[in-house]
Amino acid sequence: MTLTKQLKADLALLVVTIIWGSSFVLTKNALDYLPTYNFLAIRFSIAAILSAVVFYKNMLSIDKTTLKYGIIIGIILFTAYAFQTVGLNHTTASKSGFITGFSVVIVPILSSLLLKRKPHKQAIIGVCFAIIGLGFLTLNTNLTLNIGDFYTLICALMFALHIITVGKYTVEVDSIAMAVIQIAVVGVLSLIFSISLEKPVLPSGVAVWSNIFILAVFATSGAFIVQNTMQKFTSPTHTALIYTGEPVFSALFAFILLGEILTKQGVFGSLLILSGMIISEVDWKLFLKKEKLQGN
């Protein structure tokens, strides 16, 4: 069976989602030693430098358009992280995870409004499965809203806008160069916020530096370069739907590495999310046509 470009792109984005899901444990460990923006500044700065060195040929050919798009997307991405961080100070991690995942609903709406791109029916059905699954996976019995939830909702809007803008601009410029610029912008803005709001320090110890380097190379440099490159061949709605798998893989790796047990409700939510992904990927018209032919 020959894989289509979209399916290859979706599989690559699924790998990114798995990496981000596994990175939760490393991030949690690093944040035990560093303030939030301090950690982001080091992580994204290392990722930007390494990416620029590895892909120096792409960086040498940067033009004004690539620079402009990279800066815009970098500001959007940093804003998402910033509001998520502020929101976490006023809400629970479970509610933050659910509201952030709500970007999967926002993406098709923004795609229709900004890109005039109507999502496929199976993608919409997949989105419905995913958002219900996210609710089961991340929400507890406390469903009241507070200011932290509002900040996190802005974060979800920014993550949705990030997916949309990457999808729109990556077809116009060098995808890798644009990715490196946006990573660098997040690093610079994180450093400014760290100096302004925190007391930035350089961490000591092999363990914390190992965590940071793994996150910088795989969960930042590799992940965002793959996203920028692969979104040429798939839709923003598909991308957002695939990214809802992040809390599923976070829970899986938390179980494997930390021994954290997922509740029955969480397992059911995870299955709904994975079902949503499968529903969105299957070409149902072709599938039903084959079933009909086999039946005859």
Residue 103 phi/psi, 5-degree rounding, is -60, -25
Share of the chain above pLDDT 70, in %: 88
**pLDDT for the residue numbered 261:** 75
Query: What is the per-residue pLDDT across 171-188, written as a single tens digit (0 to 9) for each?
Result: 999 999 999 999 999 999
pTM for the whole thing? Answer: 0.81
Q: Is the pLDDT of residue 276 over 70?
A: yes
Output the average pLDDT for the chain.
Answer: 84
Q: What is the pLDDT of residue 108?
A: 81
- Residue 128 has what pLDDT? 84
Handedness of CA 11, 17, 19, 21 (dihedral sign): negative
Give me the count of residues in the chain.
Answer: 296
pLDDT of 152 strictly over 90? no
Q: Is the pLDDT of residue 1 over 50?
A: no
Quick one: pLDDT at residue 112? 78
Spatial CB neighbours of 67, under 8 Å, sequence gap ≥ 6: 181
Identify the pLDDT of residue 106: 81
Across residues 109-134, what is the average pLDDT?
78
Are 130 and 194 in contact by the 8 Å Cβ rule? The answer is no
Average pLDDT over residues 248-261: 76
Q: Which residue has the tokens 């077809």?
A: 171
Amino acid symbol at 92: T
Q: Tell me: pLDDT of 251 over 80.
A: no
